[in-house]
């Protein structure tokens, strides 16, 4: 496939970065994944806003505007066939001349972007949708999870636990037994018809799929939505559990640690929410 590295489009297997790049040595960078279907981007504006906020938070001075980012995404989609593509955007602090923790001065950030194939978004059909199985574990990542940092070892280790247990994801809870999110997704429960998700704070990533879903449920459905603390007791007693991300959209969870969620089947509220999401995603 064709990627982009510091101003140049080139075959992915020919892209080269310095081993002194701080993205490589320190995980010192910010990234995004934007889904696209047939050349149409989903959530482009909020994804770029989040990327710019992340770079500002870690003081990477990289000042592309939305039009420049859009041009990059469109060129990458076109050069890679305009199919169903995830677009990965990555800005690291760049390659210094030495390994030294402090932010260097006068170093150009590295901009790398590539595409990868993603599945067709899930259809609002219980018999065709995939029911996800998840593990759960205490969230042992850092306390700045609102920053979409390229330093993902904490997330990777949590994801691996679920994977090793034969599951598709791992949902996470803090020291107070409160749900935070999943290793690469946001998390939701449904109880008595109400959709509930943990509030935005430094314990979770402000997911764009989460944002769009809440928006769409409030605008286009009569489903009640709450952003509030969710305990793991509530997760265990939930009628439905969902996880959301750019590549999965709204994914129904049918078991947690091998125990069935609700009836163990994909739920009715998911079906309604997925229909609305399908009709109104932007």
Task: Supply the residues annotated as catalytic.
Answer: 148
181 binds ligand PDD (CB under 6 A): yes
Query: How many CB atoms within 10 Å of residue 21?
Result: 20
Nearer to ligand PDD, 30 or 111 (CB): 30
Q: Round to whole Å and give the CA distance between 261 and 267.
A: 9
Among 190, 208, 214, 253, binds ligand PDD (CB under 6 A): 208
Tell me how far, at minimum, the Cβ of 277 lies from ligand PDD, in Å.
12
Nearer to ligand PDD, 110 or 170 (CB): 170
Tell me how far, at minimum, the Cβ of 106 lies from ligand PDD, in Å.
30
Among 205, 241, 261, 273, binds ligand PDD (CB under 6 A): 205
Q: What is the DSSP letter of 149?
A: B
**Stretch of residues binding ligand PDD (CB under 6 A), selected from 162-170, 181-189, 190-198, 259-267:** 181-189
139 binds ligand PDD (CB under 6 A): no
Helix and strand totals (H; E) in the chain:
7, 15
Nearer to ligand PDD, 104 or 206 (CB): 206
Q: Round to whole Å and give the CA distance between 134 and 166.
A: 9
Interacting positions 213-252 with ligand PDD (CB under 6 A): 244-247
Among 179, 184, 190, 238, binds ligand PDD (CB under 6 A): 184
Contact at 8 Å (CB) between 28 and 93? yes
Tell me how far, at minimum, the Cβ of 105 lies from ligand PDD, in Å.
30
Among 136, 149, 155, 274, binds ligand PDD (CB under 6 A): 155
**Stretch of residues binding ligand PDD (CB under 6 A), selected from 17-25, 92-100, 103-111, 204-212:** 204-212
| 90 DSSP β-pair partners | 31, 112
Contact at 8 Å (CB) between 69 and 55? no
- DSSP-derived secondary structure for 35-52: EEETTEESSHHHHHHHHH
33 binds ligand PDD (CB under 6 A): yes
Q: Round to whole Å and give the CA distance between 219 and 203.
A: 27
Nearest to 122 by CA among 266, 282, 235: 266
Tell me how far, at minimum, the Cβ of 224 lies from ligand PDD, in Å.
22
Q: How far is it between the farthest Cα atoms of the chain?
A: 58
Nearer to ligand PDD, 35 or 96 (CB): 35
Around 138, how many Cα atoms within 13 Å sit in the side-chain half-sphere?
Answer: 5
Size of the site for ligand PDD (CB under 6 A): 15
Q: What is the DSSP letter of 142?
A: -
Tell me how far, at minimum, the Cβ of 135 lies from ligand PDD, in Å.
15
Nearer to ligand PDD, 108 or 227 (CB): 227
Q: Which residues contact 20 (CB under 8 A, 6 or more apart)?
A: 95, 96, 97, 98, 99
Q: What is the DSSP letter of 12?
A: G
186 binds ligand PDD (CB under 6 A): yes
Gyration radius of the chain's alpha carbons:
19
Q: Which residues are at the interface with ligand PDD (CB under 6 A)?
A: 33, 155, 181, 184-186, 205, 207-210, 244-247
């Amino acid at each position: 496939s064709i990627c982009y590295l510091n101003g140049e489009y080139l075959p992915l297997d020919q892209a080269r970065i310095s081993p002194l790049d701080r993205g490589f040595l320190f995980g010192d960078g910010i990234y995004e994944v934007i889904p696209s279907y047939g050349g149409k981007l989903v959530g482009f504006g909020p994804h770029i806003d989040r990327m710019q906020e992340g770079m500002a938070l870690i003081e990477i001075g990289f000042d592309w505007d939305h039009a420049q980012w859009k041009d990059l995404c469109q060129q990458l989609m076109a050069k890679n066939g305009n199919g169903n593509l995830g677009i990965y955007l990555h800005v690291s602090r760049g390659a210094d001349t030495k390994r030294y923790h402090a932010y260097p001065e006068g170093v150009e950030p590295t901009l790398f972007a590539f595409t990868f194939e993603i599945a067709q978004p899930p259809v609002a059909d219980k018999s065709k949708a995939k029911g996800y199985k998840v593990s759960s574990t205490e969230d042992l990542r850092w306390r700045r999870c609102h920053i979409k940092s390229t330093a993902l070892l904490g997330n990777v280790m949590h994801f691996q636990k679920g994977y090793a247990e034969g599951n598709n994801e791992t949902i996470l809870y803090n020291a107070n037994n409160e749900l935070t999110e999943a290793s690469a997704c946001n998390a939701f429960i449904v109880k008595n018809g109400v959709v509930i998700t943990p509030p935005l704070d430094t314990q979770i990533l402000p997911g764009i799929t989460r944002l769009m879903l809440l928006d769409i449920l409030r605008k286009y459905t009569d489903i009640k939505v709450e952003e509030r603390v969710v305990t793991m007791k509530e997760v265990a007693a939930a009628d439905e559990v969902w996880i959301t991300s750019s590549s999965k959209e709204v994914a129904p969870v049918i078991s947690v640690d091998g125990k069935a969620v609700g009836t163990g089947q994909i739920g009715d509220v998911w079906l309604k929410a997925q229909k609305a999401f399908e009709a109104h995603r932007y």
